């Protein structure tokens, strides 16, 4: 692993990114971070004690930041020097806040509509986990009809198009089917799908997943599927990780990210585990979005699989350990890689390829 780390440093130092065009959509929200230093049992006890006394205050650190999978991913890609376009809907206040949060990133926000509703998420970051209370705003009904001709043209021209947060969008299947269909029809770019947690889906989550798999994955509309361990099992419709991956990999390349390692699974082969970095996390929210940005960046510049996965790990690790919640530049990553170590990989992990 030391060798590929040195190779990645060399690639980042020598190769400036070419003129790529990346499109991400559709989720931007305002994140209110509530940071509780103890575990969730302590939080619940304190909450119940206050409630039992008829209400009151819990004095706790809170921060207001940019949120949403698409907006976070766009921010990280822009920091890496990639031309990135965010397609989303919000209101006037949301747009002004987005401009503030993207200040200094040379962001083109001309594809951000201001005629929608502000989405808002309160992320309670408790030691070891995080709980998010989400009001999806306009995202909850972001379907194909929300796209303008200008935005469809942008999608046709893009090198990689990422659709995320299917789980929060009632029109998520229709949107992904339409957007990815445009990309496939053009035969130029690649499609990147991060469906996220399916739990917010109303009605039967199982039926919604089956519908999404049938209309999007089974139709070959997804080139790259980005998922964590829980999402693999949910979308793969299996309790066993190996079987779930083997089901999904027949329809798309599966990029699996976990706390300890990451892997890529193609239809007929897989990449050895790439470990994550040993850092002291200061937050959990947004790690997957940063990882996606590194994965997309590595894909765009044509890195081999092991370097691409290591790069994605580095982008995520830098973000979760940075005290100012910054996404790294390429030089930040070089400095980070030179001074950080990788976690040891557990040897008793299951075989995925059957």
| pLDDT tens readout for residues 265-302 | 999 999 999 999 999 988 777 899 999 999 999 999 99
Residues near 192 by beta carbon (within 8 Å), at least 6 away in sequence: 160, 161, 162, 163, 222, 223, 224, 226, 292, 295, 296, 299
Q: Examine residue 319 and state whether it is found in any structural domain, yes or no.
A: yes
Please provide the distance, in angstroms rounded to a whole number, between the alpha carbons at the two ends of the chain: 26
Structural domain including 80 reads 2-29+68-120+138-339
Helices 330-339 and 305-321, packing angle to 10 deg: 90
Among candidate residues 81, 133, 134, 143, the one with its CA nearest the CA of residue 106:
81
Whether 299 maps to a domain, the answer reads: yes
CB 80 within 8 A of CB 328: yes
Count other Cβ atoms within 10 Å, centred on residue 293. 31
Any domain includes 78: yes
Pairing of strands 61-67, 29-36: antiparallel
Dump pLDDT digits (tens) for 214-236: 999 999 999 999 999 999 999 99
Q: What is the mean pLDDT of the chain?
A: 92
Q: How many domains does the chain have?
A: 1
User: Can you say whether the dihedral through the CA atoms of 329, 75, 98, 196 is positive or negative?
Assistant: negative
Tell me, rounded to whole angstroms, the distance of Cα 328 from its chain centroid: 15
| 200 has pLDDT over 90 | no
CATH classification of the domain holding 162: 3.40.1190.20
Q: Which residue has the tokens 């990815």?
A: 180
Residue 290 maps to a domain? yes
Query: Is 263 within the bounds of a domain?
Result: yes
Whether residue 72 lies inside any domain: the answer is yes
Nearest-angstrom CA–CA distance, 161 and 292: 12
* 65-101 pLDDT per residue, tens: 899 999 999 999 999 999 999 999 999 999 999 999 9
With respect to residue 175, please indicate whether it lies within any of the assigned structural domains: yes
Please check whether residue 132 lies inside any domain of the structure. Answer: no
Q: Is the pLDDT higher at 256 or at 349?
A: 256
pLDDT at 185 over 90: yes
What's the pLDDT tens digit per position in 294-334? 999 999 999 999 999 999 999 999 999 998 889 999 999 99
For residue 116, pLDDT beyond 80:
yes
Say if residue 52's pLDDT is above 80: yes
Q: What is the pLDDT of residues 157-179, one digit of tens each?
A: 999 999 999 999 999 999 999 99
Q: What are 253's two structure tokens?
A: 């390349």
- 320 sits in which H/E element: helix 305-321
Query: What is the pLDDT confidence band of residue 59, given thresholds at 50, 70 and 90?
Result: confident
């Amino acid at each position: 692993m030391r060798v590929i780390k040195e190779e990645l440093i060399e690639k980042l130092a020598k190769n400036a990114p070419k003129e790529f065009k990346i499109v991400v959509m559709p989720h931007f929200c305002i994140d209110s971070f509530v940071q509780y230093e103890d575990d969730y049992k302590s939080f619940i006890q304190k909450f119940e004690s206050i409630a039992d006394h008829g209400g009151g205050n819990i004095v706790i650190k809170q921060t207001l930041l940019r949120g949403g999978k698409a907006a976070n991913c766009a921010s990280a890609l822009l920091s890496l020097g990639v031309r990135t376009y965010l397609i989303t809907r919000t209101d006037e206040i949301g747009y002004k806040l987005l401009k503030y949060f993207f200040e200094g990133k040379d962001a083109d926000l001309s594809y951000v509509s201001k005629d929608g509703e502000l989405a808002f998420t309160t992320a309670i970051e408790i030691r070891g986990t995080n709980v998010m209370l989400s009001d999806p705003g306009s995202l909850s009904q972001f379907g194909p009809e929300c796209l303008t001709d200008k935005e469809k043209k942008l999608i046709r021209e893009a090198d990689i198009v990422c659709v995320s947060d299917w789980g929060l969008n009632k029109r998520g299947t229709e949107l992904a089917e339409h957007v990815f269909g445009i990309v496939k029809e053009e035969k130029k770019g690649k499609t990147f799908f991060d469906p996220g947690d399916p739990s917010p889906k109303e009605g039967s989550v199982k039926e919604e997943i089956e519908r999404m798999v049938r209309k999007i994955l089974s139709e070959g509309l997804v080139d790259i599927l980005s998922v964590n361990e829980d999402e693999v099992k949910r979308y793969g419709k299996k309790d066993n990780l190996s079987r779930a991956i083997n089901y999904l990999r027949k329809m798309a390349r599966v990029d699996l990210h976990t706390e300890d390692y990451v892997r890529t699974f193609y239809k007929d082969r897989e990449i050895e585990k790439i470990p994550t970095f040993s850092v002291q996390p200061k937050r959990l929210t947004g790690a997957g979005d940063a990882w996606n940005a590194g994965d997309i960046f590595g894909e765009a510049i044509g890195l081999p699989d092991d370097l691409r996965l290591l790069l994605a790990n580095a982008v995520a690790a830098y973000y979760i350990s940075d005290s100012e919640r910054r996404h790294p530049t390429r030089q930040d990553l070089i400095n980070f890689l030179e001074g950080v170590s990788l976690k040891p990989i557990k040897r008793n992990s299951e075989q995925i390829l059957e």
